[in-house]
Amino acid sequence: MNQFQYNKANEPHSAVKLVAKDPDAHFLAGGTNLIDLMKMGVVNPTKLVDINHLPFSKIEKLPHGLRIGALVSNSDVADSELVKAGFPLLSQAINAGASPQLRNMATVGGNLMQRTRCPYFFDTTLPCNKRKPGSGCGALEGINRMHAIFGASDQCIAVNPSDMNVAMRALNATVHVSGPKGARGIPIADFHRLPGEQPELDNTLKNGELITAVELPYSAFNKNLSYLKIRDRTSYAFALVSAAVALHLEGETIKEARLAMGGVAHKPWRLSAAEEFLKGKMVSEGNFRQAAQIAMKGAKAYQYNQFKLKLAPNTLIQSLRIASGIAAS
């Protein structure tokens, strides 16, 4: 770990200023991702700006939704009665991630920003375009069992590892940020990006922009839902594939569906075509299978993640079955 300067920010404005001035400065929230990366030498900040004392740790009820502060811990979000009542999908997704100790430390802002777990990104002796642009993608022809099947480029096939983000994507969250040029809201769909030619950029935040809160609009997606995560052990492992499903049902009819997947792309992957297909359809295994088939359009696998072409649709089907009550969770 290199030497760095530690600053404790007392108000958002000064935090933004400190980081905006210095491209090698980073905000420090729970530290569960950043400190690991520093120890591995993957990220070498010259300056850490500790934001834990900023006033972003409340969950507030708005007329049209919930506002969750960027510093609320993952555990507190998952356990919040407001979240469990209005957005149980989010609770399920968060609780499917990491371990209780990590969730106690991890924050909403940090989770949105967490880096990929691609082993080539984590090991500084191996090539990685995300860590070191131009050094090549180690995973493309390497051990790519955990890697993307949607939206990858030949520069990078890493996935966004978050569970929380998948639920937020399904729930149409808006990420609120405050930057040198003022505040703005970014729809979650536009927050994370695909690797394209610039895999070093995970998201569309501009330098110095600080996440202040996430807003979730109330909806009818709080009754029939399921976050199903398939992984190599029962707990404390990143997703091979996960499927967030929320259905607005009227009797046996699907009025509207929200579907997103994790572990399959560089960003939480929304399945709009499959949602469109399910609209107005009856709850049935057959419809779920067709939706899954539609969801898989454009999927492309590599040497070691061929299985995801099967696991992804199967996980979506099973999650749909659970959400609609056909199967037990």
Ligand X SMILES: Cc1cc2nc3c(=O)[nH]c(=O)nc-3n(C[C@H](O)[C@H](O)[C@H](O)COP(=O)(O)OP(=O)(O)OC[C@H]3O[C@@H](n4cnc5c(N)ncnc54)[C@H](O)[C@@H]3O)c2cc1C
Distance in angstroms (rounded) separating the CA atoms of residues 144 and 302: 7
Q: Which of 17, 20, 22, 41 binds other proteins (CB under 8 A)?
A: 41
30 interacts with, out of other proteins, ligand X, none, CB within 5 to 8 A per kind: ligand X
143 binds other proteins (CB under 8 A): yes
- Tell me the closest approach of the beta carbon of residue 302 to ligand X, in angstroms: 22
Query: Please, which residue, 298 or 328, has the CB nearer to other proteins?
Result: 328
Number of residues lying near other proteins (CB under 8 A): 33
Task: Round the CA-based radius of gyration of the chain to a whole number and report it.
Answer: 19
328 binds other proteins (CB under 8 A): yes
210 interacts with, out of other proteins, ligand X, none, CB within 5 to 8 A per kind: ligand X
Query: Please, which residue, 95 or 324, has the CB nearer to ligand X?
Result: 95
Q: CB 188: neighbour CB atoms within 10 A?
A: 24
E strands present in 5-107? 5-8, 25-28, 47-50, 59-61, 65-69
Question: In angstroms, what CA-CA distances link 65 with 87, 91, 283?
Answer: 10, 16, 28
Q: Of residues 182-201, which lie at the interface with other proteins (CB under 8 A)?
A: none
The candidate with the shortest Cα–Cα distance to 262, out of 147, 172, 155, is 147
226 binds other proteins (CB under 8 A): no
Query: Please, which residue, 174 or 226, has the CB nearer to other proteins?
Result: 226
The alpha carbon of residue 1 and the mean position of all alpha carbons in its chain are separated, in whole angstroms, by 27
Distance in angstroms (rounded) separating the CA atoms of residues 99 and 94: 10
307 binds other proteins (CB under 8 A): yes
18 interacts with, out of ligand X, other proteins, none, CB within 5 to 8 A per kind: none
Are residues 181 and 135 in contact, defined by beta-carbon separation less than 8 angstroms? no
26 binds ligand X (CB under 6 A): yes
Q: Which of 16, 38, 83, 98 binds ligand X (CB under 6 A)?
A: 98
Q: Which of 271, 274, 278, 311 binds other proteins (CB under 8 A)?
A: 311
List all residues 6 or more positions away from 42 whose beta carbon is below 8 Å from its beta carbon: 115, 121, 122, 124, 131
150 binds ligand X (CB under 6 A): no
120 binds other proteins (CB under 8 A): yes
DSSP 182-218: EEEEEEHHHHB---TT-TT--B-PPTT-EEEEEEEE-
Segment near ligand X (CB under 6 A); pick from 99-107, 142-150, 151-159, 285-293: 99-107
The residue whose two tokens read 């991890």 is: 106
- Tell me the closest approach of the beta carbon of residue 246 to other proteins, in angstroms: 19
Distance in angstroms (rounded) separating the CA atoms of residues 324 and 312: 18
Residues within the interface to ligand X (CB under 6 A): 26-34, 36, 51, 70, 97-98, 102, 105-107, 109-111, 113-114, 161-164, 210-211, 238
